[in-house]
């Protein structure tokens, strides 16, 4: 298993912006903590999931798919600082934070000397992590393609880890259970289809 201490101490110093998220606290059905703390929790969940998916050892140029997933996880909510809205009931929302996170991350990823393909793969995960949540909660989630043309494994893992690191299990337990079961169904069947 990957060592979260190593990840936090190697990647996060290169991503100084992540520490700005310590002062951003969300209060909604998904979160009641700082965005930084949530990001660390998602990272820990991703770290637990990676060893169960050997295809993440494959390289895209110089980096493994697992390494790019870790980078995307660290950066996936970076745009919440720019998009945080607090309503009259003191509940928070961060509309379109995925796009803002991807835009901010594009500049940050240059520090890692990624190839164009590695950078695009990482940005796609960041940009689309909200979409996978929308698909999972929809009634027709079973129509999602689980073949090589469907969502990447990394996006499913990031979505599952993001859900597991939420407080949804306490605020809306039925919703949490439905979502995690659907992710698990898709992940169980992932890779069974060959072209």
Query: What structural domains and CATH numbers belong to the chain?
Result: 4-189 (1.10.3210)
Report how far residue 164's alpha carbon sits from residue 45's, in angstroms, rounded to the nearest whole number. 7
Task: Label residue 89 by pLDDT band (50, 70, 90).
Answer: very high
pLDDT at 3: 46
| Tens-place pLDDT, residues 147-187 | 455 568 999 999 999 999 999 999 999 999 999 999 998 88
Residue 137's pLDDT is 86
In terms of C-beta density within 10 A (0-12 exposed, 13-18 middle, 19 or more buried), how is residue 192 classed?
A: exposed
DSSP string, 102-122: HHHHHHHHGGGT--HHHHHHH
The band of 14, judged by pLDDT with boundaries at 50, 70 and 90, is confident
Higher pLDDT, 190 or 123: 123
Reduced to 3 states (helix: H, G, I; strand: E, B; else coil), residue 156 is: helix
More confident residue, 96 or 13: 96
Is residue 98 predicted with pLDDT exceeding 90?
Answer: yes
Is 70 exceeded by the pLDDT of residue 105?
yes
- pLDDT (tens digit per residue) in 22-66: 999 999 999 999 999 999 999 999 999 999 999 999 999 999 999
pTM, rounded to two decimals: 0.90
């Amino acid at each position: 298993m990957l060592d979260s201490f190593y990840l936090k101490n190697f990647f996060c110093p290169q991503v100084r912006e992540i520490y700005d998220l310590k002062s951003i606290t969300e209060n909604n059905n998904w979160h009641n903590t700082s965005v930084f703390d949530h990001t660390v929790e998602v990272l820990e969940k991703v770290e637990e999931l990676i060893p169960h998916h050997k295809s993440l050892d494959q390289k895209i140029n110089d980096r493994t798919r697992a390494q790019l997933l870790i980078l995307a996880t660290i950066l996936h909510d970076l745009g919440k600082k720019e998009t945080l809205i607090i309503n009259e009931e003191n509940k928070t929302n961060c509309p379109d934070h995925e796009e803002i996170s991807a835009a901010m991350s594009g500049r940050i990823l240059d520090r890692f000397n990624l190839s164009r393909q590695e950078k695009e793969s990482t940005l796609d995960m960041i940009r689309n992590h909200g979409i996978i949540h929308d698909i999972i909660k929809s009634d027709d989630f079973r129509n999602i393609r689980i073949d090589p043309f469907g969502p990447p494994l990394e996006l499913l893992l990031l979505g599952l880890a993001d859900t597991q690191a939420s407080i949804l299990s306490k605020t809306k337990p039925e919703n949490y259970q439905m979502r995690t079961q659907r992710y698990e169904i898709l992940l169980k069947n992932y890779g069974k289809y060959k072209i």
